[in-house]
Amino acid sequence: MDIKDLLELVKELADLPVGELELEIDGVKLKLKKAGVQPVAERVETPAQSVATPSLQPVSPTQDGTPQFPPDAVVIRSPIVGTFYRAPSPESPPYVDIGDVVEKGQTLCIIEAMKIMNEIESEVRGEILDILAENAEPVEYGQPLFLVRPLS
C-alpha cells in the first residue's frame, strides 16, 4: 500500500456513508474519522441528536433497523431494488432458515429485478440470527435482509 492507494482510499471513503475506519494492512496502520459525520451507531444512542435530525422519519426501512441489531452481528443488506425470494422456486425449500450456519459465498436468497434472478451470497461464515424481509415482497436498496452472527 503506497501513498497513492491511501489517497484513493480516503477519497473513496469521503463519498461513502462511513464515519470511522481503522485499518491494519501490510504493516500499515490507518485510523480515519470523517468530519461532521457521526457514526450511525452513536447517533442512535445520543438522545440530544433528535433536535438535529429531521423530525419526520422517512418511511424507508433502511433507516429504522440499526439500533436493535446485536453489536456482534453482521447485517446483510439488499444491494439492489427488487423482489425478495427465499427459495429458487415456490416449490423448493428456502435457501436458509433461522439457526442455519452458512458458509461465506453460500446463496441466501434471490432478488428478482427486471425478470432477472440475482442470487445474494453471504459475505461471511456465520449463523442466521434473523430474516428481516418477507418472502415475495419488494425490497429497496440497502434494506436489511439477514442478520448473521459471524463464526470463525
Partner 1 sequence: MIERVLIANRGEIALRILRACRELGVESVVVYSEADAYSLPVQLADKAICIGPPEPINSYLNVQSIMSAAEVVKAQAVHPGYGFLAENPEFAEICLACDLAFIGPPPHVIRLMGDKAEARKRVASWGVPVIPGSPGEVDTEEEALAIAQEIGYPVLMKAVAGGGGRGMRLARDEDELRQVFNTARSEAGAAFGHAGLYVEKFVHPARHIEVQVLADGEGNVLVFGERDCSIQRRHQKVLEEAPALISQVLRERLFQDARLVAEKVGYVSAGTVEFLVDEEERHYFIEMNTRIQVEHPVSEMVTGLDLVKEQIKIASGVPLELEQKDVVSKGWAIEFRINAEDPRSFRPSPGKVERWVVPGGPGVRVDTALYQGYEMPPFYDSLVAKLIVYGRDREEALSRGKRALAEFKVEGIQTTIPLHEAILGSEEFREGKCPVDWLERFVW
CB 143 within 8 A of CB 131: no
Which region, left, alpha or beta, applies to residue 114 given φ > 0 means left and ψ of -120 to 50 means alpha? left
Strands 138-139 and 116-121: unpaired
Q: Quick one: what does residue 107 bind among a second copy, partner 1, none, with the CB cut-off 5 to 8 Å set by partner type?
A: none
Nearest distance from residue 51's CB to partner 1, in Å? Answer: 8
Nearest distance from residue 55's CB to a second copy, in Å? Answer: 13
**Which residues are at the interface with partner 1 (CB under 8 A)?**
15-17, 51-56, 58-60, 62-63, 80-83, 113-114, 138-143
Residue 125 buriedness (CB in 10 A; 0-12 / 13-18 / 19+) = middle
**Which residues are at the interface with a second copy (CB under 8 A)?**
1, 3, 5-14, 16-42, 44, 46, 48-49, 51
Please identify, using beta-carbon distances, which residue of 16 and 114 lies nearer to a second copy: 16
